[in-house]
A and B are shown apart, each in its own frame.
Chain A
Amino acid sequence: MNNQTEILVIDDEVQIRKLLEITLESNGYKTFFAENGKEGLLAAANHQPDLIILDLGLPDEDGQIVLKRLREWYKNPIIILTVKNTEEEIVKALDNGANDYLSKPFRTQELLARIRTALRNLVQSNDEPIVQFGNVSIDFTSRIVKLKEEILKLTATEYNLLSILIKNEGRVLTHQYLLKQVWGNSYSDQTQYLRVFVAQLRKKIEEDPNRPRFIITESGVGYRFNTS
């Protein structure tokens, strides 16, 4: 990358800020910091960072509200880094427009991987005609999915689910979101469909469907498509 990627960290804990400063700077990112929601919103507007890491437990304002306010205009990835790891809180953050979440305590390697994925999606446009992962390739123009050069027979629903997952690679998609996108609004609480079709898709594209490499379960929250 020509110009340094800029990351804004909004977190009130000085230890976390220090840790992130060292970790991110030594991985070649330029960092800015804010200690609370107000400062964070201001810094985001001033610096227009390429990515924001946001803590949900801020001293002045609920992180969810800061997230909502950011999403009114900010289009780049936002990764949530929080001690609040209940399913409700995570789903709410994703619904409010977060791209990803990581609960504290976290491993920095994991955080760096998530940052890379989020930034990659930012640079790459998501409408490449052919996407390849593992032994599987998917051609969006002809709607053909191949496994080792052999055409995979997918039902219409399976294909829709797979293409939504791939187009949002690296991002956690909530059950509700997937159900609405693939089956329609009235299906948003019919999790059984998702469970069945994810299992079916895994049988077709994963080498070992019980230990999936691509379609990753995010417990109680949703699914993530992973190619790395």
Chain B
Amino acid sequence: MKTILSQIKLKNQYLICVLSVSIVASLCLFTRNFLDHKVVGYILLVVVSLLAMFLDILPVLLSAVLSALILNFFFIQPYYTFHIYSAEDTLLLFLFFIIALINGVLTHKIRKAEKKLQIKEVRVNTMKLYNALLDSLSHELRTPISAIMGAIDTIQSKTVTISEENRQKLYLEIEKASLRLNHQVENLLNMSRLESGVIQPKMDWCDLKELIYNVLDHLKEDLLFNKVLVDVNDNLPLFKLDYGLTEQIIYNLIFNASQYTPKGAKIEIKVEYNPDVDFDYNPDKLMPCVITISDDGNGFPEEEIDKVFDKFYRLQNSKTGGTGLGLSIVKGFVEAQNGKITLENEEEGGSVFKIGFPVLVMNTAAISNE
């Protein structure tokens, strides 16, 4: 309410002040014979105070002045003049005016202070996010760079001789570090693509089965210690999706599963769709396509599930590595294709990522007979 009213244009605020003071005053006019004008003064004070809670200072001052004039003109004897008979009433009017003013100014000051605090809070939060980003970034980029520089220094060192075996180990470390660096840069680039809003999905017919196996092939080194199950219909229809974005989505999810599940954990990929598609192709009808990627690892801490898709969010007890970008990229790429992603823990342990796309679907039987 506060925010809505404070967005009202100044001109309209003046109007609101004049209207509410006049309306309340005219209502009081009917009761002039039973009610003391002091009571009317209190009522008008309440109106001014209420206005002060929501509106800018100038309109509030106007309503204070206006209500004082109205009080004098209509309610303090003699009526319909600005004359006042008794000294008591003069004092009353004077006090009324002062209290209304102080009320307006004080409320205004409080609100101003509140606003300042809010801005400060936002700033503090932004700083926190920025620091978190810097922390994880500098860690994620500097660690592999240190590994590379250190390994090279040792290899080049003229004062120590290292065994051939150790030399090979150092080479391997350099390789691992550069792959890690590349992975992080790739994440950062994807994130900035998302942030800049330049992603325009290029929808084309995708063979999801081919896509999934292609991703698994790219990740085969990371999946050496996992059992991977692909549950995909042999006659899977084609879905109209962006191949590159969808590939990245599935890549990140499977990569995550491979990194954060214990050795030997099972990773399952499933594609489900509406079987009605088998009848005929309707170029205007979007149908659901659901890709599920689940594992039987430890799952996510329940209280953190809502946050895992947030940018730079990393689980509290997460092992080192990762910038907290992977899943937020996944979410961004899913949403860029009008899809939705959810994460749930399974009762018997493990986590389930479900991605639902509304897509055009084409059954392939008609084409394949040629």
**Which A residues fall within an 8 A CB radius of B?**
87, 105, 155-157, 191-193, 195-200, 210-211, 217, 219-220
Contacts and interface: CB of A to CB of B under 8 A. Distances in A.
Contacts of B364: 192, 195-196, 199
Contact of A191 (B204, B209, B214, B217): B204
Contact of B370 (A155, A211, A219): A155
Given A195-B364, A210-B209, 6 more contacts: A157-B370, A195-B205, A195-B210, A195-B238, A211-B217, A220-B247
B336 interface: no
> What does DSSP make chain B's interface, helix, strand, loop or mixed?
helix
A87 B370 contact: no
B238 A196 contact: yes
Contacts of A155: 370
A191 B202 CA distance: 12
B207 interface: yes
Contacts of B207: 195, 198-199
B213 interface: yes
Please classify how large the interface on chain B is, using the bins under 10, 10 to 19, 20 to 34, 35 or more: 20 to 34
Interface in B197-218: 202, 204-207, 209-211, 213-214, 217
B157 interface: no
B244 interface: yes
B191 interface: no
Q: Is the interface of A mostly helix, strand, loop or mixed?
A: helix
B244 A210 contact: no
Contacts of A105: 178, 182
B14 interface: no
B317 interface: no
B205 A192 contact: yes
B299 to A, nearest CB: 28
Contact of A220 (B178, B217, B230, B243): B243
A160 B217 CA distance: 27
Contacts of A87: 202, 243-244
B244 A217 contact: no
Contacts of B247: 219-220
A219 B217 contact: no
22 contacts: A87-B202, A87-B243, A105-B178, A155-B370, A156-B370, A157-B370, A191-B204, A192-B364, A193-B367, A198-B207, A199-B209, A199-B364, A210-B209, A210-B230, A211-B213, A217-B210, A217-B214, A219-B214, A219-B244, A219-B247, A220-B202, A220-B243
A161 B214 CA distance: 21
B368 A196 contact: yes
Contacts of B244: 87, 219-220
B271 interface: no
